[in-house]
Structure 1
Amino acid sequence: MRYTLRQIEYFIATAETGSITLASERLNISQPSISTAITHLEEELETQLFVRHHAKGLSLTPAGRVLLVEAKRLVDQAEHMYTVASEVNDKVRGQLSLGCMVTLASMIMPELSHSFTAAFPATRIAQTVSDHETLLDKLQRAELDVVISYDLLIPAGFEFLPLASLPPHVLVGENHPFARLSSISMEELAGAPLILLDLPISREYFLGLFAKHGLEPTIATRSTHQDVIRTMVANGYGYTLANVRPKSQVAMDGRPVVRVPITGDHKPVVIGVFSLKSGRKARLLEIFEQHCKSFVSDAYIPGMVAPLMERRRSPT
């Protein structure tokens, strides 16, 4: 065999991004190194892997699509060697492909990932951030080992380890009339302009809070970006519904935001760890789940005001 796993990894990154430039950015490797690796692979395999499009990147040839599947399988088998070795030697090592719900990632991922790799220096975490549906699809296709998201959809074939529960609340700018209230009802919210977080599953959850009471919200605008919504709210465009409670009380532009509780009982979302059901989990995954369970709870969530802390702050 006259090709290397590194060259295979360069091929996979280029195929997934459709661009040597983007593959270079993802891997933090120079573009000439990736180009050379792909050329070497094509010569060694005597097969053209890509069609080069002038100014439009690359696309896989039919042969390239077939070999991409085999390349990913080869890398997975190589990674599995670390898992087997760690189990034999009772050491925790190897790479974990971790996905995280986009609304959680900026708060949870940095501290959680760093604390894990600090505790287990022979491990590495490759992070992916996306919406719930996309993450579960990647987990199903074995592109991810584990996902941190909400319990809003748990399809058959997945395991879910609950970590912390987040009830919904209203978020407004400091000059909004709702900001002066100690709490607010769904009926009062229905007629006011709502800035809706328009992500799959999350969108249905928030709309369901109104539907449960036979109400329809007045949707002023929608966005898939939580930070954009937060800043719009801070600037007086309307209110939004949220579950996450960032420790920061300001939007991206520095304007203050105010959380207002919703009266009554409403279904919370539960942060947890998704994995595929299997006969036996890899030890690296088991250790990571244990780490999550000890690190995230109703009493402490990285980057957030945890539910128990919120209740302690609230007047009785």
Structure 2
Amino acid sequence: MQNQTKKRILVAPLNWGLGHATRCIPLIHALLENEFEPVIASDGIALKLLEKEFPQLKAIELPSYNIVYPKKAQFFKLKLLKNSPKLIQTIKAESKHTKSIIIDYGIDGIISDNRLGVFSKSIPSVFMTHQLKVLSGNTTWLSSKMHQKIIKQFDECWIPDNCGEENLSGDLGHVNMIDIPIKYIGPLSRLKKTNIKNKYDLMVLLSGPEPQRTLLQNSLLKKLKNYKGDVLFVKGIIDDESKVFVNGHMTIYNFMTSKTLEKAMNESKAVLSRSGYTTIMDLAKLEKKAFFIPTPGQYEQKYLAKRLTELGLVASCNQKDFTIEMLETIDNYKGLKSTDDFTNYKKLFSLFQSK
């Protein structure tokens, strides 16, 4: 890699559903606009999605964390503990791989979205997360302490949220933390709001790790047969190409790229989805009403859904309790709103000019 004129920034999102990858899309666009050369690194569906969004950029496969949820929520923490030795091995392999990538591709800086082994002491390294506090039930203190210890290996921590009271992440992204500069960079979304006539009464937008994504998909496809209204159903399965299938009042996609998704969400009166943080940022940007079904066993999603419901913004319920009749409560809530804070990317990216 000789005759390099632009600084190369490695952008590495965690492959845990699609959220980490999709919220990196506006960052990658901002890097391009500010005369940097992004290099993408991930695995699985996260890497596939970013390759489709940025076919002109170099994409590198990283070792996979292979995060799989148990079918029963009560076994989630046990499964994570059981897999922790394998996870530690993957992080070590990821760290070794990162060292090679830095040399082979002339990397000048790193933005790691929750990939624990993607950092370097020799070049500016950023850790991006909305979780300074990692909820894990009665072990929250330990999981948070461990996470913060990892973050402290980086030069900066970027929180995709606002620092004031009008924020989206609540206690997750707002704790007192020392030894590392924390920057609130504002909510990140690849989508833009447009004033367009509603085409669908309800949009179902799925993502997240298996088998819970498939379990919710199959349950909703069955229950929504009795829904009175037009439904757009996006499964969140990344294939070689986007496919559409119409079944009565339901239009079903395997996945959508950013532009198609942006139009579809703007055309939808309400959205039914997981309460993943990236989805929340997208819905706030589009100022949409929603219904959340948090992933069973995922404390973070349960917290976010409960918080937004208690604030009177979004309806929600547990997966096992969901009925079609509950969708009638959506209009009882205000919906999510955009703060439209401007991110000064030139100032933010100045870190990569510092070494």
Asked if Structure 1 and Structure 2 have the same fold, meaning a TM-score greater than 0.5 normalized by the shorter chain, the answer is no
Bigger relative contact order, structure 1 or 2, given CA contacts below 8 A and separation 6+? Answer: 1
- Normalised TM-score (structure 1): 0.30
TM-score, normalised via structure 2 length: 0.27
The structure with the greater share of residues assigned to strand is 1
Which of structures 1 and 2 has the bigger CA Rg? Answer: 1
